[in-house]
């Protein structure tokens, strides 16, 4: 049973072409057009789910009540990142799309609980899957307390404490969260010296003071009697936006105690190339929010001094390489062109000037995939997998995967293992196929891999076996 109700909103309604039969220039009937089902699975399922499980909530019911989705296809939903398709389709094509979605949505069956095999044998590592938390909706972040308890953030704005696989407490004192679109209560990490200072860091989408729109913010706090106390805001991204997309949010501490984190460009592509705002950037600050004096743009007039790198679209994962100690991130491209990047001080990663992806309506965003002065990704996924968080495998519990990157796939519902050799990707493998939308992957202090999944909302632990 779910602990609460939270209406997710659609991410994007991506381009679909040729929904209905048409006539060629001679007036003859052309029957070679793809079917509505074929096109939905090809172009829409990545965001909305092959069984339409990610059309949901009050927004969907409002569309359904009207009995026709062509209006929203025609006008788009800019605040949710959905573009207009007025120029991409005829009215008849949009009507065919609408009819198919409405028909299939009515036939949608209730979700079935995920059943995992007793043992999973991957290329280099066998493991079993233990479910350690249930009843969640969209679990976003995981942090482990010294006593072994697990803090879990929910996008809707709740913070849970699990102990021994059971819900121990709902933590009070969480600030008001703007749970809009892709925003909400997001990542949670502990200070490297948590046992000494007790600081917990949480990222979330914060409403603007006037209540219109908002942006990513980070606060640090302490936990006392299952309540957040001594809350201190240490970062707030500007400008505020009414759009509900591309909040970024993942955080990581390096060996020197600097806090690195990403903020998406909030659906405004030009933000990523402009140093006068926080959006489309990776930032670096001290643990109390102060600005490191050697940040690359501290002395650049008008630039935001927290910026460490720029030209990012929506950075969703960030971690430190276990050997080189350099920073890597992954991020969402548009339709294609999801990336893994080696993050360098002051570097420009090109979005939207260079990209391996195209727009959601099929139009070209940029003809360039490379340009002098802009960094190339270590790796790019086309088609997009919808990467969520990422984590390097450390320790000795998974010798077959040691040093590899684990990255969640939201679109295709699996955990991907990526092997780096000499800074290049030499092997990929899909793990946990069809487990659900993998939102977060992390490693506990005792070296076990934990994975947070939505649809269904669970957290699983990968236990290696001989």
Residue identified by tokens 């998406």 is 264
Burial 30-66 (b: 16+ CB within 10 A, else e): eeebeebeebbeebbbbbbbeebbbbbeebbeebeee
Q: Can you give the C-alpha Rg of the chain in angstroms?
A: 22
User: Is the CB of residue 216 less than 8 Å from the CB of residue 247?
Assistant: yes
Q: Does residue 246 have an active-site annotation?
A: yes
Cα-to-chain-centroid distance, residue 200: 21
Beta partners for residue 263, in sequence order: 281
Nearest to 286 by CA among 220, 194, 216, 231: 220
Q: Cα 377–382–387 angle (5° rounding)?
A: 70
For the CA atoms of 340, 416, 320, 345, what is the dihedral angle to 10 degrees?
Answer: 10
Nearest to 199 by CA among 218, 179, 175: 218
Nearest to 344 by CA among 260, 270, 416: 260
Among 48, 124, 191, 246, the one annotated catalytic: 246
Distance CA 277, CA 205 (A): 16
Cα-to-chain-centroid distance, residue 183: 10
Nearest to 431 by CA among 413, 444, 448: 413
For residue 314 the two structure tokens come to 């929506």
Helices (H), 191-304: 194-197
Give the H or E element holding residue 128. Answer: strand 126-136
For residue 132 the two structure tokens come to 């350690």
Helix (H, G, I), strand (E, B) or coil at 91: helix
Beta partners for residue 421, in sequence order: 424
Burial 93-102 (b: 16+ CB within 10 A, else e): bbbbbbbbbb
Q: Is the N-terminal amide bond of 145 cis, ω within 30° of 0?
A: no
By annotation, the residues acting in catalysis are 246
């Amino acid at each position: 049973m779910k602990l609460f109700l939270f209406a997710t909103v659609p991410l994007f309604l991506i381009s679909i072409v040729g929904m209905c039969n048409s006539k060629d220039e001679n007036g003859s009937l052309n029957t070679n057009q793809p079917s509505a089902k074929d096109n939905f699975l090809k172009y829409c399922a990545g965001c909305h789910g092959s069984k339409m499980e990610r059309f949901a909530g009050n927004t969907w019911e409002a569309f359904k009540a009207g009995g026709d989705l062509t209006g929203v296809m025609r006008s788009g939903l800019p605040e949710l990142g959905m573009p207009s398709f007025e120029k991409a389709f005829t009215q008849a094509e949009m009507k065919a799309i609408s009819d198919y979605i409405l028909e299939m949505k009515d036939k949608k069956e209730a979700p079935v609980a995920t059943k995992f095999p007793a043992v999973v044998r991957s290329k280099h590592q066998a493991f079993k899957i233990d479910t350690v938390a249930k009843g969640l909706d969209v679990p976003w972040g995981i942090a482990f307390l010294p006593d072994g308890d697990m803090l879990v953030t929910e996008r809707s704005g709740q913070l849970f404490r699990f102990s021994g696989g059971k819900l121990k407490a709902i933590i009070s004192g969480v600030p008001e969260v703007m749970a809009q679109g892709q925003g909400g209560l997001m990542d949670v990490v502990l200070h490297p010296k948590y046992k000494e200072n007790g600081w917990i860091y949480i990222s979330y989408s914060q409403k603007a003071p006037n209540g219109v729109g908002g942006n990513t913010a980070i606060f640090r706090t302490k936990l006392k009697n299952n309540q957040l106390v001594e809350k201190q805001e240490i970062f707030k991204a500007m400008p505020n936006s009414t759009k509900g997309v591309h909040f970024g949010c993942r955080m990581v501490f390096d060996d020197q105690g600097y806090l690195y984190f990403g903020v998406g460009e909030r659906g405004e592509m030009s933000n990523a190339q402009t140093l006068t705002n926080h959006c489309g950037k990776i930032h670096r600050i001290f643990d109390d929010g102060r600005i490191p004096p050697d940040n690359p743009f501290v002395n650049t007039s008008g630039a935001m001094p927290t910026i460490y790198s720029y030209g990012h679209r929506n950075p969703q994962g960030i971690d430190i390489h276990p050997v080189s100690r350099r920073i890597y991130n992954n991020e969402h491209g548009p339709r294609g062109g999801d990336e893994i990047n080696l993050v360098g001080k002051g570097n420009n990663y090109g979005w939207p000037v260079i990209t391996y992806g195209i727009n959601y309506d099929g139009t070209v965003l940029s003809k360039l995939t490379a340009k002098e002065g802009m960094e190339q990704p270590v790796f790019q996924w086309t088609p997009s997998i919808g990467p969520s968080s990422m984590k390097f495998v450390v320790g000795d519990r998974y010798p077959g995967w040691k040093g590899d990157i684990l990255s969640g796939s939201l679109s295709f519902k699996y955990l991907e293992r990526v092997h780096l050799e000499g800074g290049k990707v030499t092997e990929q493998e899909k793990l946990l196929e069809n487990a659900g939308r993998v939102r977060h992957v992390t490693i506990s202090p005792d070296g076990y891999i934990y994975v947070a999944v939505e649809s269904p909302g669970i957290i699983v632990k990968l236990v290696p076996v001989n």
